[in-house]
């Protein structure tokens, strides 16, 4: 943001007024004269406060809070208070206006929300990247007023929509933050449309070429897709009209990000993804007839198209934690393609699109307390104060992303728990005290171990014993944050108790040997016995893993311990790895620019998780012990690194190219045939004159999969190789080999 006088002020004022009137139109049905007066005052205060400020794009800064307020009102359906707070969300942070002034001009409620937005300004600030401690502050505001989070999500969405004006490294950081935490947060809030747009925009900046390619192919197949949808819908609409249902039916295209995920995770090309869209049926139904009407529509559909028995999802009887209600089914069309159909009422549709904001609107008609249940789970995550901020972010993300299953207690009560949860997770879900004493479970009357994974519809009885205590092995198979936190806390309490016994034992031994029980001596003993802390030292003593008789062998002077100097390390054999050879070559040829500096001036190495080669879009990551590591921006670990440690990301790019080979991997699959391996190696070494480091092939039931580690000079050469291999008879796919598959 900066002061820039050389703009057409009259034109800008017209644009600002146009956007303000657009905001009022969004609120016209839910606004009183008093509300309109307050919105006008908030707009004028924001306009005055931000008058000299501009965004990176050069536009007047006031257009940003106006856009955030429009998202809050139009796309989230938030109340007037939220809209006023959206207009004022940057005022206290960026200008001289105080919270006291806002409270005086408006009210305590608005001042409190603006205060929450100000406290966490760094989290979504376009000029700085999110760090975990800021995220903890963000989560803490959930208990003050959930509208703080909702306005911040509107703020982030608008920032993502205007990300083009920032530098490439800033785009990567902010897009990765959005994809890693804020899109899942929007999803958990029930804001599906916003979550989807955030994912698509994140992909647009992290994988621009792939994003454009999918968008282009979607556009090219639009006409064909529209014809298929119309042909599919026609008999459905006719039959539903005949049976008296008042409804709308339309085809909804799948998001670019969801298609990208299928290409990436299922290893199928775009052309082989059939479910590029879903059919949505929106019913106008009386409140007491909603469920029965949805099931009647389902019955009508299955009279026309055959359903897949494994693909029925009933979120009518058991809504999702974020309040989502619908009936999903997948049916076979007349041309042999599976089609997903979503059935919901207008009320359910509004909740699906606007999340908890719409949920509040219908709360008086519903006993569902989904928001409170979820907030309680968040509080459980936050209550574990001994976790560092990074662990907290990981735990919270786990809670955000989990899918749910439904299980029953012995008395038939229904409980929701995350997919993949074990019997022990369920025990802690019932109560922490029951979890700590759990020795096993009966699932559907059959005895199972603690590690047994639960399935949808299981009936679970927990078996306990007063003699049982949690142990560290439990952490290997619990999946819920509540169970993990309770086990860790129990283990820490137990360790403290045992450590206290060890401390007493050590003090007695030191006294007998006339060695001071000083902090300096205790730290020297920690170093000598290779333990991290005094508590670990005492614990090892109590556990008999440290023999106190060894203390008599130590050198002491006047009660102080003297430890011998460590031996000099023996010189290592001068074996130079491939990575080091490449690094030396790069030093001579300055292939990389890191933070604007030639690579020969900076300590760095290539990340083995993605093996970048010249031509790849790359970034540098500052490690603790290994200098800077160079990763591809589409590395499996990139989003996580850029989101959680964005302050350690440095700008990196390739400069001039030289004849240096880089190690990468390709995976080849196809139909097994005699001589196929020879054909593949002939292309690599014969036609393209490339060197291989390793090659391995596996074959099962006529299908083979080969993994080849190979040296290439750049991405162009790698692409050429993949194209040549695909031309061979029997080869079905060739793709870059990610480290996680090694």
Active site residues: 93-94
CA triplet 306, 308, 311: central angle to 5 degrees? 140
Token pair belonging to 51: 């008058």
- For 292-437, where are the E strands, in sequence order? 306-307, 313-314, 327-332, 338-345, 404-408, 414-418
**Phi, then psi, of 107 in degrees rounded to 5:** -160, 175
Per the listing, tokens 């200008």 go with 95
DSSP string, 496-516: HHHHHHHHHHHHHHHHHTT--
**Phi, then psi, of 658 in degrees rounded to 5:** -135, 170
Calpha distance 197→355 (Å, rounded) = 15
CA distances from residue 377 to 143, 154, 370, 373, 397 in whole angstroms, order as listed: 12, 23, 11, 7, 12
Buried-state track 128-137, b at ≥16 Cβ within 10 A, e below 16: bbbbbebbbe
Per the listing, tokens 């747009």 go with 197
Nearest CA among 644, 647, 134, 128 for reference residue 391: 644
User: Residue 555 region, left (φ>0) first, then alpha (ψ -120 to 50), else beta?
Assistant: beta
Token pair belonging to 583: 């690094």
Tell whether the torsion through CA atoms of 392, 394, 399 and 404 is positive or negative: negative
Q: Which residues contact 184 (CB under 8 A, 6 or more apart)?
A: 195, 397, 400, 401
Alpha helices (runs of H) in 106-255, residue ranges in sequence order: 108-119, 121-124, 132-140, 146-161, 168-177, 183-188, 192-206, 208-220, 222-242
Token pair belonging to 347: 């009320």
Calpha distance 145→739 (Å, rounded) = 43
Calpha distance 252→232 (Å, rounded) = 13
Which helix (H) or strand (E) element contains residue 562?
strand 560-562
Which helix (H) or strand (E) element contains residue 464?
strand 460-464
Q: Which residues contact 706 (CB under 8 A, 6 or more apart)?
A: 667, 668, 669, 677, 680, 695, 696, 697, 698
* Helix, coil or strand: residue 655: coil
C-beta atoms surrounding 536 within 10 Å: 16
Alpha helices (runs of H) in 452-609, residue ranges in sequence order: 481-512, 519-528, 534-542, 578-589
Buried-state track 274-293, b at ≥16 Cβ within 10 A, e below 16: eebbbbbbbbebeeeebeeb
Characterize the bridge pairing of strands 438-443 and 460-464. Answer: antiparallel
Calpha distance 512→556 (Å, rounded) = 13
Alpha helices (runs of H) in 73-131, residue ranges in sequence order: 80-87, 91-94, 99-105, 108-119, 121-124
- For 597-737, where are the E strands, in sequence order? 597-598, 604-606, 618-622, 628-632, 649-654, 662-671, 691-700, 703-712, 731-736
CA distances from residue 243 to 247, 250, 296, 301, 334 in whole angstroms, order as listed: 11, 19, 10, 12, 22
């Amino acid at each position: 943001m900066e002061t820039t006088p050389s703009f057409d002020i009259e034109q800008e004022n017209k644009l600002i007024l146009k956007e303000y009137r657009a905001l009022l139109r969004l609120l016209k049905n839910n606004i009183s004269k008093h509300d309109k007066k307050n919105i006008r005052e908030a707009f004028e205060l924001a306009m005055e406060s931000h008058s000299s400020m501009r965004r990176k794009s050069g536009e007047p800064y006031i257009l940003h809070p106006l856009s955030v307020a429009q998202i809050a009102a139009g796309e989230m359906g938030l109340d007037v208070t939220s809209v006023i707070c959206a207009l004022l969300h940057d005022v206290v942070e960026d200008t001289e206006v105080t919270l006291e002034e806002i409270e005086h001009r408006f009210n305590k409620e608005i001042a409190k929300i603006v205060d929450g937005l100000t406290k966490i300004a760094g989290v979504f600030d376009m000029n700085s990247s999110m760090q975990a401690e800021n995220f903890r502050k963000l989560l803490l505001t959930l208990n003050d007023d959930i509208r703080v989070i909702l306005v911040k999500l509107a703020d982030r969405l608008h920032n993502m929509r205007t990300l083009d004006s920032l530098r490439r490294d800033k785009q990567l950081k902010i897009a990765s933050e959005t994809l890693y935490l804020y899109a899942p947060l929007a999803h958990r809030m029930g804001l599906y449309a916003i979550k989807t747009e955030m994912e698509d925009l994140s992909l647009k900046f992290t994988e621009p070429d792939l994003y454009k390619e999918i968008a282009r192919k979607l556009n090219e197949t639009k006409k064909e897709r529209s014809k298929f949808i119309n042909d599919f819908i026609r008999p459905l609409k006719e039959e539903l009209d005949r049976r008296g249902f008042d409804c709308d039916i339309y085809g909804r295209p799948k998001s670019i990000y969801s298609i990208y995920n299928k290409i990436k995770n299922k290893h199928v090309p775009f052309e082989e993804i059939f479910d590029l869209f879903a059919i949505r049926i929106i019913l106008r139904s009386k409140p007491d007839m909603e469920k029965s009407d949805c099931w009647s529509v389902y019955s009508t559909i299955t009279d026309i198209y055959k359903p897949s028995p494994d693909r029925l999802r009933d979120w009518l009887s058991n809504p999702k934690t974020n309040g989502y209600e619908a009936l999903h089914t997948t049916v076979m069309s007349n041309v042999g393609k599976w089609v997903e159909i979503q059935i919901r009422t207008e009320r359910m549709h509004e909740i699906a699109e606007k999340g908890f904001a719409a949920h509040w609107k219908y709360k008086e008609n519903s006993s569902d307390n989904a928001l409170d249940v979820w907030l309680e789970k968040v509080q459980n995550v936050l209550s574990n104060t001994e976790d560092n901020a990074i662990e907290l972010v990981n735990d919270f993300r786990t809670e955000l992303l989990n899918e749910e299953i439904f299980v029953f207690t012995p008395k038939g009560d229904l409980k929701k728990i995350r997919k993949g949860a074990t019997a022990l997770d369920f025990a802690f879900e019932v109560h922490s005290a029951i979890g700590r004493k759990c020795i096993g479970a009966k699932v559907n009357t059959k005895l199972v171990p603690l590690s047994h994974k639960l399935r949808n519809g299981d009936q679970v009885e927990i078996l306990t014993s007063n003699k049982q205590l949690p142990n560290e092995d439990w952490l290997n198979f619990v999946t819920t944050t509540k169970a993990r936190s309770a086990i860790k806390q129990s283990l820490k309490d137990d360790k403290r108790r045992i450590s206290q016994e060890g401390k007493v034992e050590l003090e007695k031994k030191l006294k007998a040997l006339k060695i001071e029980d000083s902090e300096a001596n205790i730290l020297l003993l920690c170093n000598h016995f290779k333990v991290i802390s005094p508590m670990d030292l005492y614990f090892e003593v109590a556990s008999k893993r440290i023999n106190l008789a060894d203390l008599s062998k130590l050198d002491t002077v006047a009660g102080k311990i003297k430890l011998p100097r460590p031996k000099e390390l023996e010189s290592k054999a001068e074996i130079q790895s491939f990575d080091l050879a490449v690094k030396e070559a790069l030093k001579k040829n300055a292939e990389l620019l890191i933070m604007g500096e030639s690579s020969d001036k900076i300590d760095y190495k290539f990340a083995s998780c993605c093996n970048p080669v010249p031509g790849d879009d790359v970034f540098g990551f500052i490690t603790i012990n290994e200098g800077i590591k160079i990763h591809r921006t589409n590395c499996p670990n990139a989003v996580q690194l850029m989101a959680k440690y964005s302050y350690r990301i440095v700008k990196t790019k390739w400069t001039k190219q030289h004849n240096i080979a880089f190690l990468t991997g390709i995976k080849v699959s196809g139909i097994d045939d005699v001589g196929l391996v020879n054909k593949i190696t002939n292309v690599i070494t014969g036609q393209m004159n490339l060197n291989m480091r390793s090659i391995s092939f596996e074959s099962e039931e006529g299908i083979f999969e080969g993994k080849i580690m190979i040296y290439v000079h750049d991405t162009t050469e790698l692409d050429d190789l993949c194209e040549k291999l695909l031309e061979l008879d029997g080869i079905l796919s060739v793709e870059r080999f990610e480290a996680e598959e090694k």
